[in-house]
Amino acid sequence: MTTQRPALSKAEMEIARIVWDLQKATVREVLDALPEGRDIDYKTVQTFLRRLEAKGYLSSKRNGRSLVYTAKVRPNQVIHETVKDFVGRLFDGEALPLVEHLIREQGLESQDIDQLRTMLNDLEGQQSAVK
Protein backbone atom coordinates (compact mmCIF):
# COMPACT_ATOMS: atom_id res chain seq x y z
CA MET A 1 0.00 0.00 0.00
CA THR A 2 1.62 3.19 -1.16
CA THR A 3 0.41 5.70 1.38
CA GLN A 4 0.55 9.10 -0.17
CA ARG A 5 1.60 11.82 2.13
CA PRO A 6 3.67 14.46 0.37
CA ALA A 7 7.33 13.62 0.80
CA LEU A 8 9.39 15.27 3.50
CA SER A 9 12.02 17.76 2.52
CA LYS A 10 15.45 17.70 4.15
CA ALA A 11 14.75 20.38 6.71
CA GLU A 12 11.34 18.94 7.47
CA MET A 13 12.92 15.57 8.10
CA GLU A 14 15.41 17.17 10.43
CA ILE A 15 12.61 18.68 12.49
CA ALA A 16 10.45 15.57 12.40
CA ARG A 17 13.29 13.49 13.75
CA ILE A 18 13.62 15.79 16.73
CA VAL A 19 9.94 15.45 17.52
CA TRP A 20 10.17 11.67 17.24
CA ASP A 21 13.09 11.75 19.56
CA LEU A 22 11.36 13.85 22.17
CA GLN A 23 8.11 11.97 21.56
CA LYS A 24 6.18 15.15 22.07
CA ALA A 25 7.43 18.69 21.82
CA THR A 26 6.45 22.31 21.56
CA VAL A 27 8.03 24.70 19.10
CA ARG A 28 10.38 25.91 21.77
CA GLU A 29 11.41 22.43 22.81
CA VAL A 30 12.26 21.55 19.25
CA LEU A 31 14.18 24.77 18.92
CA ASP A 32 16.16 23.98 22.06
CA ALA A 33 16.85 20.45 20.86
CA LEU A 34 18.49 21.60 17.65
CA PRO A 35 22.17 20.75 17.48
CA GLU A 36 24.76 23.37 18.30
CA GLY A 37 25.32 25.70 15.45
CA ARG A 38 22.01 25.04 13.77
CA ASP A 39 20.71 28.55 14.07
CA ILE A 40 17.22 28.98 12.87
CA ASP A 41 14.51 31.21 14.19
CA TYR A 42 11.67 30.21 16.46
CA LYS A 43 9.28 31.20 13.70
CA THR A 44 11.05 28.99 11.23
CA VAL A 45 10.69 25.98 13.47
CA GLN A 46 7.07 26.93 13.92
CA THR A 47 6.58 26.97 10.17
CA PHE A 48 8.14 23.54 9.77
CA LEU A 49 5.99 22.04 12.49
CA ARG A 50 2.89 23.53 10.92
CA ARG A 51 3.87 22.16 7.53
CA LEU A 52 4.61 18.76 9.00
CA GLU A 53 1.14 18.70 10.43
CA ALA A 54 -0.36 19.86 7.16
CA LYS A 55 1.44 17.06 5.37
CA GLY A 56 0.02 14.55 7.80
CA TYR A 57 3.19 13.54 9.62
CA LEU A 58 2.49 15.19 12.96
CA SER A 59 -0.54 16.11 14.92
CA SER A 60 -0.86 18.80 17.54
CA LYS A 61 -2.80 19.27 20.71
CA ARG A 62 -3.14 22.40 22.74
CA ASN A 63 -1.60 22.56 26.18
CA GLY A 64 -2.17 25.94 27.77
CA ARG A 65 -1.16 28.48 25.19
CA SER A 66 1.23 26.15 23.43
CA LEU A 67 0.81 23.47 20.81
CA VAL A 68 2.36 20.13 21.55
CA TYR A 69 3.30 18.12 18.49
CA THR A 70 3.52 14.36 18.30
CA ALA A 71 4.07 11.83 15.57
CA LYS A 72 0.98 10.90 13.62
CA VAL A 73 2.73 8.37 11.40
CA ARG A 74 5.09 5.89 12.99
CA PRO A 75 8.67 7.06 12.56
CA ASN A 76 9.74 3.63 11.38
CA GLN A 77 7.17 3.77 8.65
CA VAL A 78 8.50 7.10 7.45
CA ILE A 79 12.09 5.92 7.60
CA HIS A 80 11.11 2.84 5.70
CA GLU A 81 9.39 4.79 2.95
CA THR A 82 12.23 7.24 2.73
CA VAL A 83 14.87 4.55 2.45
CA LYS A 84 12.78 2.74 -0.11
CA ASP A 85 12.46 5.82 -2.24
CA PHE A 86 16.17 6.45 -1.95
CA VAL A 87 17.09 2.91 -2.92
CA GLY A 88 14.66 3.16 -5.78
CA ARG A 89 16.19 6.28 -7.18
CA LEU A 90 19.85 5.48 -6.68
CA PHE A 91 20.09 1.73 -6.88
CA ASP A 92 17.17 0.71 -9.06
CA GLY A 93 15.32 -0.50 -6.01
CA GLU A 94 17.92 -3.08 -5.08
CA ALA A 95 18.97 -3.02 -1.47
CA LEU A 96 22.00 -5.25 -1.87
CA PRO A 97 24.17 -2.83 -3.84
CA LEU A 98 23.55 -0.16 -1.27
CA VAL A 99 24.41 -2.50 1.55
CA GLU A 100 27.61 -3.41 -0.24
CA HIS A 101 28.42 0.21 -0.80
CA LEU A 102 27.83 1.01 2.85
CA ILE A 103 29.91 -1.87 4.07
CA ARG A 104 32.89 -1.17 1.97
CA GLU A 105 32.85 2.56 1.46
CA GLN A 106 31.38 4.11 4.56
CA GLY A 107 33.32 3.33 7.69
CA LEU A 108 32.22 0.09 9.26
CA GLU A 109 34.30 -1.07 12.22
CA SER A 110 35.23 -4.67 13.01
CA GLN A 111 32.75 -4.78 15.82
CA ASP A 112 30.04 -3.60 13.45
CA ILE A 113 30.96 -6.42 11.15
CA ASP A 114 30.62 -8.97 13.91
CA GLN A 115 27.27 -7.56 14.79
CA LEU A 116 26.17 -7.77 11.20
CA ARG A 117 27.28 -11.34 10.91
CA THR A 118 25.23 -12.22 13.92
CA MET A 119 22.25 -10.52 12.43
CA LEU A 120 22.69 -12.38 9.19
CA ASN A 121 22.75 -15.69 10.99
CA ASP A 122 19.57 -14.97 12.87
CA LEU A 123 17.86 -13.74 9.79
CA GLU A 124 18.77 -16.74 7.73
CA GLY A 125 17.30 -18.96 10.39
CA GLN A 126 14.00 -17.16 10.12
CA GLN A 127 13.98 -17.14 6.35
CA SER A 128 14.59 -20.85 5.92
CA ALA A 129 11.82 -21.47 8.41
CA VAL A 130 9.45 -19.56 6.17
CA LYS A 131 10.67 -20.89 2.86
Partner DNA sequence: CTTTAAGACTTACGACTGTATGCCATAAAA
Partner DNA sequence: TTTTATGGCATACAGTCGTAAGTCTTAAAG
Task: Tell me which residues touch DNA (CB under 7 A).
Answer: 6-12, 26-28, 39-44, 46-48, 50-51, 64-67
3-state secondary structure of 25: strand
Among its own copies, DNA, none, the one that 88 touches (CB under a kind-dependent 5 to 8 A) is none
3-state secondary structure of 38: coil
**Amino acid identity at 73:** V
Closest to DNA by CB, 27 vs 78, is 27
Instruction: Note the residues at the interface with its own copies (CB under 8 A).
Output: 10, 13-14, 17, 79-80, 82-84, 86-87, 89-90, 95-96, 98-108, 110, 112-113, 115-117, 119-120, 123-124, 127-128, 131
Q: Using alpha carbons only, give the angle 82, 87, 89 rounded to the nearest 5 degrees.
A: 95
Q: Comparing C-alpha atoms, which of 14, 130, 128, 19 is closest to residue 73? A: 19
Q: Smallest distance from the beta carbon of 84 to its own copies, in angstroms?
A: 7
